[in-house]
């Protein structure tokens, strides 16, 4: 690996926008990469083909349209399938991660997304990177933060922060207590996250 090509493979596209770097890579069949690490956190979207990424004894089998999130500095090895594999790697800076983290909890372990939305956003990022016009950097940076929102949602699932579904028989009286605790948020650098004044429509519901 070299500073100019931190991801081994044949580069077919490379773009930068703000705190985001996007590279499209192709790997020949049956390629194996020894244990290594990368300085920046990234999302890896598999466009075609398949490969296995191992973090010690923890191995992820990745196929087309799946997205892997890999934190910075995580040591891993790779073994590609018997067909050519192409993927898009979206690297994000520490500044980007800090901005997203202001709005919510983020996972610090590698994982494969269970949300199809991450794959759609990664595909959209790849499309924008091919536009080569003055609007592309704006689109890339905006889509990257939408990807950050999905990273937050995946982290919420990991931490069990999503509320359980309400039973069909839940009464209006049972709902009153949690609804009274509902607040609209105050803005963080990228959005809304800190409890603030009560939300008026909810107050009306409780009357």
How far apart are alpha carbons 96 and 162 in whole angstroms?
Answer: 24
pLDDT score of 159:
58
**pLDDT tens digits, 70-113:** 999 999 999 999 999 999 999 999 999 999 999 999 999 999 99
Question: What pLDDT sits at residue 6?
Answer: 61
For 150-191, write each residue's pLDDT tens digit: 999 999 876 554 444 444 444 445 434 443 443 444 456 665
- Checking phi first, is residue 104 left (phi over 0); if not, alpha (psi -120 to 50) or beta? left
**Domains delineated in the chain:** 10-159 (2.60.120.280), 172-206 (no CATH)
pLDDT, tens digit, for every residue of 31-67?
999 999 999 999 999 999 999 999 999 999 999 999 9
**50-55 and 58-63 beta bridge pairing:** antiparallel
Query: How high is the pLDDT of residue 157?
Result: 79
Q: What is the mean pLDDT of the chain?
A: 82
Pick from 72, 75, 63, 69: nearest CA to 33: 75
Higher pLDDT, 3 or 173: 173
pLDDT: which is higher, 4 or 139: 139
- Residue 8: the pLDDT is 78
pLDDT band at 115 (very low <50, low <70, confident <90, very high): confident
The answer for residues whose C-beta is within 8 angstroms of residue 178's C-beta and 6 or more apart is: none
Q: How far apart are CA 171 and CA 205, in angstroms?
A: 14
Query: What length is written for the chain?
Result: 207
Contact present, 152 and 106 (Cβ < 8 Å)? yes
- Residue 7: what pLDDT? 72
Task: Quote the pLDDT of residue 11.
Answer: 95
């Amino acid at each position: 690996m070299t500073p100019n090509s931190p991801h081994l493979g044949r580069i077919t596209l490379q773009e930068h926008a703000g705190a985001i770097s996007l590279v499209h890579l192709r790997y020949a069949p049956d390629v194996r990469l020894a244990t290594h690490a990368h300085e920046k956190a990234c999302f890896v979207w598999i466009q075609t083909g398949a490969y296995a990424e191992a973090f010690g004894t923890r191995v992820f089998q990745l196929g087309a349209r799946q997205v892997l999130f890999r934190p910075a500095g995580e040591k891993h090895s790779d073994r590609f399938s018997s067909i050519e594999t192409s993927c898009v790697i979206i690297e994000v800076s520490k500044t980007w991660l800090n901005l997203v983290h202001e709005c919510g909890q983020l996972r610090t372990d590698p994982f494969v997304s269970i949300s199809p939305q991450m794959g759609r956003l990664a595909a959209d990022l790849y499309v924008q990177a091919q536009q080569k016009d003055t609007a592309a950097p704006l689109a890339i940076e905006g889509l990257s933060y939408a990807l950050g929102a999905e990273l937050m949602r995946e982290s919420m699932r990991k931490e069990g922060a999503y509320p359980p579904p309400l039973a069909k028989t839940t009464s209006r009286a049972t709902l009153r207590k949690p609804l009274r605790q509902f607040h609209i948020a105050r803005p963080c650098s990228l959005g809304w996250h800190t409890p603030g004044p009560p939300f008026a429509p909810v107050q009306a519901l409780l009357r």
